[in-house]
Amino acid sequence: MTDAASTPRPDQQPLPARVLVGRVVTPTGVLDDGVVAVEGGRVAWVGRRAEAAAAGYADLPADDGATLLPGLVDVHDHGGGGSSFPDATSAADALVGAREHLRHGTTSLVASLVTAPRDVLLERTATLADLADAGEIVGIHLEGPFLSEVRCGAQNPHDMLDGDPELVRAIAAAARGHLRTMTVAPEVPGVVGPGGVIETLVEVGAVPSIGHTDASTEQTEAAIASGVAALAAAGRPGARLTATHLFNGMRPLHHREPGPVAACLAAAARGEMVVELVADGTHLAHGTIRSVVELVGPHVGVDGAVAGPDGVALVTDAMAAAGMADGAYELGPMRVTVADGVARLTDGGSIAGGTYHLIDVVRETVGAGVPLVDAVRAASWTPAGVLGLDDRGGLVAGRRADVVVTDADLTVREVLRAGESIDLSA
Protein backbone atom coordinates (compact mmCIF):
# COMPACT_ATOMS: atom_id res chain seq x y z
CA MET A 1 0.00 0.00 0.00
CA THR A 2 1.29 3.46 -0.88
CA ASP A 3 2.00 5.77 2.04
CA ALA A 4 -0.25 8.81 2.30
CA ALA A 5 2.77 11.03 1.58
CA SER A 6 3.71 9.13 -1.61
CA THR A 7 2.56 11.56 -4.29
CA PRO A 8 4.56 11.18 -7.53
CA ARG A 9 6.18 14.40 -8.69
CA PRO A 10 5.48 15.50 -12.27
CA ASP A 11 8.04 14.15 -14.75
CA GLN A 12 8.81 17.62 -16.08
CA GLN A 13 10.28 18.78 -12.76
CA PRO A 14 14.06 18.50 -12.33
CA LEU A 15 15.51 15.75 -10.20
CA PRO A 16 16.00 16.63 -6.53
CA ALA A 17 19.32 17.72 -5.14
CA ARG A 18 19.41 14.80 -2.67
CA VAL A 19 17.82 11.35 -2.40
CA LEU A 20 17.90 9.53 0.94
CA VAL A 21 16.96 5.88 1.47
CA GLY A 22 16.30 3.69 4.48
CA ARG A 23 13.62 3.11 7.09
CA VAL A 24 11.41 6.22 6.79
CA VAL A 25 9.18 7.37 9.63
CA THR A 26 6.21 9.36 8.31
CA PRO A 27 3.46 10.93 10.44
CA THR A 28 1.31 7.83 10.03
CA GLY A 29 3.63 4.88 9.60
CA VAL A 30 7.05 3.40 8.92
CA LEU A 31 8.34 2.53 5.45
CA ASP A 32 11.04 -0.11 5.94
CA ASP A 33 12.24 0.36 2.34
CA GLY A 34 11.56 4.09 2.00
CA VAL A 35 12.86 6.97 -0.08
CA VAL A 36 12.91 10.69 0.72
CA ALA A 37 13.72 13.08 -2.12
CA VAL A 38 14.81 16.61 -1.25
CA GLU A 39 14.81 19.54 -3.63
CA GLY A 40 15.16 23.27 -3.03
CA GLY A 41 14.93 22.93 0.73
CA ARG A 42 11.65 21.02 0.53
CA VAL A 43 10.60 17.39 0.61
CA ALA A 44 9.81 16.62 -3.02
CA TRP A 45 8.66 13.02 -2.67
CA VAL A 46 8.29 10.28 -0.07
CA GLY A 47 7.47 6.67 -0.84
CA ARG A 48 8.63 3.09 -1.08
CA ARG A 49 11.71 2.09 -3.02
CA ALA A 50 9.64 -0.05 -5.40
CA GLU A 51 7.61 3.03 -6.37
CA ALA A 52 10.56 5.38 -6.81
CA ALA A 53 11.30 4.65 -10.47
CA ALA A 54 7.73 5.39 -11.52
CA ALA A 55 7.97 8.68 -9.61
CA GLY A 56 11.15 9.66 -11.49
CA TYR A 57 13.79 8.42 -9.04
CA ALA A 58 15.42 5.43 -10.73
CA ASP A 59 19.04 5.98 -9.64
CA LEU A 60 18.95 5.36 -5.89
CA PRO A 61 21.85 5.08 -3.45
CA ALA A 62 22.46 1.85 -1.58
CA ASP A 63 20.55 1.30 1.65
CA ASP A 64 23.12 1.49 4.46
CA GLY A 65 20.68 0.82 7.30
CA ALA A 66 19.72 4.42 7.98
CA THR A 67 16.51 5.49 9.70
CA LEU A 68 15.06 8.77 8.41
CA LEU A 69 13.06 10.93 10.82
CA PRO A 70 11.53 14.39 10.43
CA GLY A 71 13.40 17.21 12.12
CA LEU A 72 12.31 17.23 15.76
CA VAL A 73 10.34 20.09 17.36
CA ASP A 74 10.93 20.94 21.03
CA VAL A 75 8.42 23.34 22.59
CA HIS A 76 10.05 23.40 26.05
CA ASP A 77 13.84 23.80 26.29
CA HIS A 78 15.93 25.93 28.67
CA GLY A 79 19.33 25.38 27.04
CA GLY A 80 22.20 22.99 26.47
CA GLY A 81 25.87 22.76 25.66
CA GLY A 82 26.65 24.76 28.80
CA SER A 83 24.37 27.63 27.75
CA SER A 84 21.24 28.55 29.74
CA PHE A 85 18.55 30.57 27.98
CA PRO A 86 17.35 32.12 31.28
CA ASP A 87 20.91 33.32 31.93
CA ALA A 88 21.99 34.31 28.40
CA THR A 89 22.80 38.00 28.12
CA SER A 90 23.36 37.95 24.36
CA ALA A 91 22.02 36.16 21.32
CA ALA A 92 25.49 34.65 20.86
CA ASP A 93 25.28 33.08 24.33
CA ALA A 94 21.84 31.65 23.62
CA LEU A 95 22.91 30.40 20.19
CA VAL A 96 25.25 27.90 21.88
CA GLY A 97 22.24 26.14 23.42
CA ALA A 98 20.16 26.25 20.25
CA ARG A 99 23.01 24.80 18.18
CA GLU A 100 23.64 22.05 20.73
CA HIS A 101 20.13 20.75 20.17
CA LEU A 102 20.19 21.36 16.41
CA ARG A 103 23.25 19.10 16.07
CA HIS A 104 21.21 16.36 17.75
CA GLY A 105 18.20 16.62 15.45
CA THR A 106 16.02 19.37 16.94
CA THR A 107 15.51 21.57 13.89
CA SER A 108 12.76 23.71 15.48
CA LEU A 109 13.27 24.84 19.07
CA VAL A 110 11.31 27.05 21.43
CA ALA A 111 13.62 28.68 23.99
CA SER A 112 12.19 28.67 27.51
CA LEU A 113 12.72 31.16 30.32
CA VAL A 114 11.95 30.69 34.02
CA THR A 115 10.38 32.93 36.63
CA ALA A 116 12.48 36.04 37.27
CA PRO A 117 12.02 39.74 38.15
CA ARG A 118 10.17 41.83 35.58
CA ASP A 119 13.25 43.59 34.18
CA VAL A 120 15.14 40.31 33.77
CA LEU A 121 12.20 38.70 31.96
CA LEU A 122 11.96 41.62 29.55
CA GLU A 123 15.73 41.68 28.90
CA ARG A 124 15.97 37.93 28.33
CA THR A 125 12.88 37.92 26.12
CA ALA A 126 14.37 40.64 23.93
CA THR A 127 17.65 38.71 23.67
CA LEU A 128 15.85 35.56 22.55
CA ALA A 129 13.78 37.58 20.08
CA ASP A 130 17.06 38.44 18.32
CA LEU A 131 17.74 34.72 17.97
CA ALA A 132 14.23 34.14 16.65
CA ASP A 133 14.62 36.97 14.14
CA ALA A 134 17.74 35.18 12.88
CA GLY A 135 15.77 31.94 12.42
CA GLU A 136 17.78 29.99 14.99
CA ILE A 137 14.76 29.36 17.23
CA VAL A 138 11.05 29.33 16.41
CA GLY A 139 9.78 31.14 19.47
CA ILE A 140 9.90 31.89 23.17
CA HIS A 141 8.19 30.18 26.10
CA LEU A 142 7.92 31.71 29.55
CA GLU A 143 7.57 29.24 32.42
CA GLY A 144 6.16 31.78 34.85
CA PRO A 145 5.94 34.13 36.64
CA PHE A 146 2.23 33.49 37.38
CA LEU A 147 2.77 30.13 39.09
CA SER A 148 2.00 28.40 42.37
CA GLU A 149 4.60 28.93 45.09
CA VAL A 150 3.79 25.51 46.56
CA ARG A 151 4.45 23.81 43.20
CA CYS A 152 7.43 25.96 42.23
CA GLY A 153 9.75 23.03 41.46
CA ALA A 154 13.17 24.37 40.48
CA GLN A 155 11.99 27.97 40.32
CA ASN A 156 12.30 30.86 42.74
CA PRO A 157 8.97 31.26 44.58
CA HIS A 158 9.89 34.79 45.68
CA ASP A 159 9.66 36.04 42.07
CA MET A 160 6.20 34.59 41.43
CA LEU A 161 3.38 37.07 40.91
CA ASP A 162 -0.37 37.35 40.74
CA GLY A 163 -1.69 37.55 37.19
CA ASP A 164 -0.68 40.79 35.48
CA PRO A 165 -2.06 41.30 31.97
CA GLU A 166 0.05 44.41 31.44
CA LEU A 167 3.21 42.43 32.12
CA VAL A 168 2.04 39.89 29.55
CA ARG A 169 1.66 42.67 27.00
CA ALA A 170 5.10 44.05 27.86
CA ILE A 171 6.68 40.61 27.43
CA ALA A 172 4.87 40.14 24.13
CA ALA A 173 6.19 43.52 22.95
CA ALA A 174 9.74 42.54 23.92
CA ALA A 175 9.27 39.23 22.07
CA ARG A 176 8.40 41.09 18.85
CA GLY A 177 5.91 38.48 17.68
CA HIS A 178 7.87 35.46 18.91
CA LEU A 179 6.05 34.75 22.19
CA ARG A 180 4.63 31.26 21.66
CA THR A 181 3.51 30.00 25.06
CA MET A 182 3.41 30.90 28.75
CA THR A 183 2.95 28.54 31.68
CA VAL A 184 0.33 29.70 34.22
CA ALA A 185 -1.33 28.26 37.32
CA PRO A 186 -5.15 28.50 37.18
CA GLU A 187 -5.54 29.18 40.92
CA VAL A 188 -3.31 32.26 40.90
CA PRO A 189 -5.43 35.45 41.12
CA GLY A 190 -5.73 37.28 37.82
CA VAL A 191 -4.99 34.28 35.61
CA VAL A 192 -8.57 33.15 34.85
CA GLY A 193 -11.46 35.51 34.21
CA PRO A 194 -12.41 38.41 31.94
CA GLY A 195 -9.33 40.37 30.97
CA GLY A 196 -7.06 37.95 32.86
CA VAL A 197 -3.73 36.47 31.84
CA ILE A 198 -5.19 33.59 29.83
CA GLU A 199 -7.33 35.90 27.70
CA THR A 200 -4.42 38.33 27.34
CA LEU A 201 -2.07 35.59 26.15
CA VAL A 202 -4.51 34.70 23.40
CA GLU A 203 -4.89 38.40 22.59
CA VAL A 204 -1.12 38.73 21.96
CA GLY A 205 -1.03 35.57 19.84
CA ALA A 206 0.39 33.11 22.37
CA VAL A 207 -0.93 29.81 23.74
CA PRO A 208 -1.69 29.42 27.47
CA SER A 209 -0.09 26.41 29.13
CA ILE A 210 -1.24 24.94 32.45
CA GLY A 211 1.55 24.04 34.86
CA HIS A 212 3.32 24.50 38.20
CA THR A 213 -0.09 24.41 39.77
CA ASP A 214 -1.86 23.20 42.90
CA ALA A 215 -5.26 23.79 41.32
CA SER A 216 -8.29 21.59 41.77
CA THR A 217 -9.83 19.79 38.83
CA GLU A 218 -12.63 22.37 38.77
CA GLN A 219 -10.20 25.31 38.72
CA THR A 220 -8.23 23.66 35.93
CA GLU A 221 -11.37 22.93 33.93
CA ALA A 222 -12.39 26.58 34.22
CA ALA A 223 -8.98 27.70 32.98
CA ILE A 224 -9.11 25.31 30.02
CA ALA A 225 -12.64 26.43 29.14
CA SER A 226 -11.50 30.06 29.31
CA GLY A 227 -8.58 29.38 26.99
CA VAL A 228 -10.65 27.40 24.50
CA ALA A 229 -13.28 30.15 24.38
CA ALA A 230 -10.64 32.85 23.95
CA LEU A 231 -8.93 30.99 21.12
CA ALA A 232 -12.27 30.48 19.33
CA ALA A 233 -13.22 34.15 19.78
CA ALA A 234 -9.82 35.17 18.37
CA GLY A 235 -10.42 33.15 15.21
CA ARG A 236 -8.06 30.35 16.26
CA PRO A 237 -10.53 27.49 16.86
CA GLY A 238 -8.02 24.82 15.84
CA ALA A 239 -5.40 25.99 18.32
CA ARG A 240 -4.97 24.01 21.52
CA LEU A 241 -3.75 24.80 24.99
CA THR A 242 -0.85 22.84 26.43
CA ALA A 243 -0.01 21.35 29.79
CA THR A 244 3.54 22.09 30.91
CA HIS A 245 5.36 18.80 31.69
CA LEU A 246 2.26 16.90 32.83
CA PHE A 247 2.55 15.46 36.38
CA ASN A 248 5.75 17.35 37.17
CA GLY A 249 5.16 20.55 39.15
CA MET A 250 1.50 19.63 39.69
CA ARG A 251 -0.67 18.41 42.54
CA PRO A 252 -0.54 14.60 42.20
CA LEU A 253 -3.47 12.66 40.78
CA HIS A 254 -5.56 11.11 43.57
CA HIS A 255 -8.86 9.31 43.16
CA ARG A 256 -10.65 11.65 45.62
CA GLU A 257 -8.70 14.80 44.70
CA PRO A 258 -7.90 14.41 41.00
CA GLY A 259 -6.36 17.87 40.69
CA PRO A 260 -5.06 19.32 37.41
CA VAL A 261 -3.76 16.07 35.91
CA ALA A 262 -7.20 14.54 35.39
CA ALA A 263 -8.57 17.74 33.86
CA CYS A 264 -5.63 18.02 31.47
CA LEU A 265 -5.91 14.40 30.36
CA ALA A 266 -9.63 14.81 29.72
CA ALA A 267 -9.01 18.01 27.73
CA ALA A 268 -6.35 16.23 25.65
CA ALA A 269 -8.80 13.40 24.96
CA ARG A 270 -11.33 16.01 23.76
CA GLY A 271 -8.77 17.58 21.44
CA GLU A 272 -8.59 20.82 23.43
CA MET A 273 -5.09 20.38 24.84
CA VAL A 274 -1.70 18.85 24.13
CA VAL A 275 0.11 17.51 27.19
CA GLU A 276 3.89 17.75 27.39
CA LEU A 277 5.77 14.70 28.64
CA VAL A 278 9.40 14.89 29.76
CA ALA A 279 9.85 11.25 28.85
CA ASP A 280 13.49 10.95 29.87
CA GLY A 281 13.16 8.14 32.40
CA THR A 282 13.78 10.58 35.27
CA HIS A 283 10.76 12.87 35.24
CA LEU A 284 8.30 10.05 34.49
CA ALA A 285 8.22 6.27 34.86
CA HIS A 286 8.01 4.22 31.68
CA GLY A 287 4.55 3.02 32.63
CA THR A 288 3.32 6.59 32.94
CA ILE A 289 4.72 7.50 29.54
CA ARG A 290 3.18 4.45 27.92
CA SER A 291 -0.21 4.92 29.55
CA VAL A 292 -0.56 8.59 28.63
CA VAL A 293 0.41 7.99 25.00
CA GLU A 294 -2.09 5.14 24.78
CA LEU A 295 -4.76 7.35 26.34
CA VAL A 296 -4.40 10.61 24.42
CA GLY A 297 -1.43 10.18 22.09
CA PRO A 298 -1.29 9.55 18.35
CA HIS A 299 -2.97 6.33 17.28
CA VAL A 300 -2.41 4.97 13.79
CA GLY A 301 -5.02 2.63 12.34
CA VAL A 302 -4.41 -0.37 10.11
CA ASP A 303 -5.15 1.74 7.06
CA GLY A 304 -2.40 4.22 7.97
CA ALA A 305 -4.81 6.93 9.08
CA VAL A 306 -4.63 8.56 12.48
CA ALA A 307 -7.47 6.92 14.37
CA GLY A 308 -7.46 8.68 17.73
CA PRO A 309 -6.44 11.71 19.76
CA ASP A 310 -3.17 13.44 18.97
CA GLY A 311 -2.55 14.98 22.35
CA VAL A 312 1.06 14.33 23.44
CA ALA A 313 4.16 16.43 22.79
CA LEU A 314 7.47 15.01 23.92
CA VAL A 315 9.75 17.72 25.34
CA THR A 316 13.20 17.88 26.92
CA ASP A 317 12.76 20.62 29.55
CA ALA A 318 16.52 20.68 28.96
CA MET A 319 18.86 22.98 30.85
CA ALA A 320 22.47 24.00 30.32
CA ALA A 321 23.86 20.55 31.18
CA ALA A 322 22.30 18.87 28.11
CA GLY A 323 25.24 17.41 26.20
CA MET A 324 27.62 18.26 29.04
CA ALA A 325 29.35 16.47 31.90
CA ASP A 326 28.09 16.20 35.46
CA GLY A 327 28.84 19.22 37.65
CA ALA A 328 27.52 22.56 38.87
CA TYR A 329 25.18 24.67 36.72
CA GLU A 330 22.65 27.50 37.03
CA LEU A 331 19.00 27.76 36.04
CA GLY A 332 18.08 31.39 36.43
CA PRO A 333 18.84 32.28 40.06
CA MET A 334 18.86 28.64 41.20
CA ARG A 335 21.99 26.55 41.66
CA VAL A 336 21.84 23.09 40.11
CA THR A 337 23.97 20.00 40.59
CA VAL A 338 24.04 17.33 37.88
CA ALA A 339 25.03 13.84 39.03
CA ASP A 340 24.73 10.69 36.90
CA GLY A 341 23.02 12.80 34.25
CA VAL A 342 20.20 13.97 36.55
CA ALA A 343 19.83 17.69 37.33
CA ARG A 344 18.62 18.64 40.82
CA LEU A 345 18.58 21.83 42.84
CA THR A 346 21.73 22.01 44.92
CA ASP A 347 19.58 23.16 47.84
CA GLY A 348 16.48 21.03 48.26
CA GLY A 349 17.01 18.32 45.66
CA SER A 350 14.07 19.07 43.32
CA ILE A 351 14.50 17.89 39.74
CA ALA A 352 15.80 20.94 37.89
CA GLY A 353 15.07 20.30 34.23
CA GLY A 354 16.36 17.68 31.84
CA THR A 355 19.75 16.79 30.39
CA TYR A 356 18.52 14.92 27.30
CA HIS A 357 18.31 16.00 23.70
CA LEU A 358 14.92 15.37 22.11
CA ILE A 359 16.24 12.42 20.10
CA ASP A 360 17.21 10.84 23.45
CA VAL A 361 13.65 11.41 24.70
CA VAL A 362 12.30 9.69 21.58
CA ARG A 363 14.65 6.76 22.17
CA GLU A 364 13.59 6.53 25.82
CA THR A 365 9.93 6.65 24.81
CA VAL A 366 10.38 3.79 22.35
CA GLY A 367 12.20 1.92 25.11
CA ALA A 368 9.14 2.45 27.30
CA GLY A 369 7.08 0.44 24.80
CA VAL A 370 5.64 3.22 22.64
CA PRO A 371 5.67 2.46 18.89
CA LEU A 372 8.34 4.36 16.96
CA VAL A 373 5.84 6.16 14.74
CA ASP A 374 3.92 7.44 17.79
CA ALA A 375 7.06 8.58 19.60
CA VAL A 376 8.37 10.42 16.54
CA ARG A 377 5.00 12.02 15.80
CA ALA A 378 4.84 13.29 19.39
CA ALA A 379 8.26 14.89 18.93
CA SER A 380 7.61 16.45 15.52
CA TRP A 381 4.14 16.60 13.95
CA THR A 382 2.13 17.33 17.10
CA PRO A 383 4.41 20.03 18.57
CA ALA A 384 4.68 21.67 15.15
CA GLY A 385 0.88 21.84 15.18
CA VAL A 386 0.91 23.44 18.63
CA LEU A 387 3.12 26.18 17.21
CA GLY A 388 1.04 26.58 14.06
CA LEU A 389 4.01 25.51 11.91
CA ASP A 390 2.30 23.68 9.06
CA ASP A 391 5.41 23.80 6.86
CA ARG A 392 7.40 21.24 8.88
CA GLY A 393 7.07 18.44 11.41
CA GLY A 394 6.77 15.50 9.05
CA LEU A 395 8.36 13.77 6.07
CA VAL A 396 5.57 14.81 3.75
CA ALA A 397 5.88 16.13 0.20
CA GLY A 398 5.86 19.93 0.16
CA ARG A 399 7.03 20.41 3.74
CA ARG A 400 10.39 21.88 4.68
CA ALA A 401 13.20 19.36 4.30
CA ASP A 402 14.07 18.96 7.97
CA VAL A 403 15.46 15.44 8.13
CA VAL A 404 17.34 13.53 10.81
CA VAL A 405 19.38 10.58 9.53
CA THR A 406 20.07 8.05 12.27
CA ASP A 407 21.26 4.51 12.81
CA ALA A 408 18.74 1.82 13.67
CA ASP A 409 19.21 2.68 17.36
CA LEU A 410 18.38 6.38 16.68
CA THR A 411 21.97 7.61 16.98
CA VAL A 412 22.24 10.75 14.84
CA ARG A 413 24.37 10.53 11.69
CA GLU A 414 23.28 13.67 9.86
CA VAL A 415 20.85 16.55 10.28
CA LEU A 416 19.28 18.52 7.42
CA ARG A 417 17.49 21.79 8.10
CA ALA A 418 15.63 23.15 5.07
CA GLY A 419 17.71 20.72 2.99
CA GLU A 420 21.04 22.00 4.29
CA SER A 421 23.35 19.58 6.10
CA ILE A 422 24.30 20.81 9.58
CA ASP A 423 27.91 20.62 10.73
CA LEU A 424 27.66 18.19 13.66
CA SER A 425 31.13 19.08 14.92
CA ALA A 426 30.61 22.84 15.24
- Residue 152: the pLDDT is 92
3-state SS class at 262: helix
In Å, what is the CA distance from 251 to each residue of 160, 164, 259, 341?
A: 18, 23, 6, 26
Helix (H, G, I), strand (E, B) or coil at 189: coil
Q: Which residues in 202-287 belong to E strands, given as ranges?
A: 207-210, 241-243, 273-277
Q: Is the pTM of this model over 0.85?
A: yes
Q: What domains are there in the chain, each with its CATH number?
A: 18-69+397-421 (2.30.40.10), 72-386 (3.20.20.140)
Above 60 in pLDDT, residue 400? yes
Q: What tens digit of pLDDT does each residue of 294-313 get?
A: 999 988 766 667 767 899 99
Residue 394 has pLDDT above 80, yes or no: yes
**Residues forming the active site:** 317
- Considering only CA atoms, which of 334, 21, 292 is closest in space to residue 157? 334
At residue 349, the pLDDT reads 87
Of 184, 190, 117, nearest to 146 by C-alpha is 184
Give Cα 70 distance to the centre of its chain.
13
Residue 332's SS3 state is coil
The helix/strand/coil state of 285 is coil
Binding-site members are: 143, 154, 212, 245, 248-249, 256, 283, 351-353
CA-based nearest residue to 32, from 63, 76, 11:
63
Q: Indicate the residue type of 21.
A: V
d(C-alpha 172, C-alpha 181), whole Å: 10
Strands (E), 265-422: 273-277, 312-314, 327-331, 334-339, 342-345, 403-406, 412-417, 420-421
End-to-end alpha-carbon separation of the chain, Å?
Answer: 41
Binding residues for Zn(2+): 143, 212, 245
Detail the residues annotated as belonging to a binding site for substrate. 154, 248-249, 256, 283, 351-353
Of the candidates 356, 368, 351, the one whose C-alpha atom is nearest the C-alpha of residue 297 is: 368
Nearest by Cα to 49 from 302, 159, 253, 37:
37
DSSP 242: E
Task: Give 32-42 pLDDT, tens digit per residue.
Answer: 999 999 999 99
CB neighbour class for 270 (10 Å; exposed up to 12, middle 13-18, buried from 19): middle
> pLDDT at position 16, please?
45
Distances 90 to 79, 97, 219, 372 between C-alpha atoms, Å: 13, 12, 39, 38
Beta strands 241-243 and 30-39 are unpaired
Measure the CA–CA gap between 245 and 284, rounded to whole angstroms: 10
DSSP states along 103-167: TTTEEEEEEEEE---HHHHHHHHHHHHHHHHTTS-SEEEEE-SS--GGG-TTS-GGG--S--HHH
394 or 4, which is more confident: 394
Q: Please, which pLDDT band fits residue 115 given cuts at 50, 70 and 90? A: very high
pLDDT at 299: 80
Note the pLDDT tens digit of each residue in 227-275. Answer: 999 999 999 988 999 999 999 999 999 999 999 999 999 999 999 999 9
Average pLDDT, the chain: 93
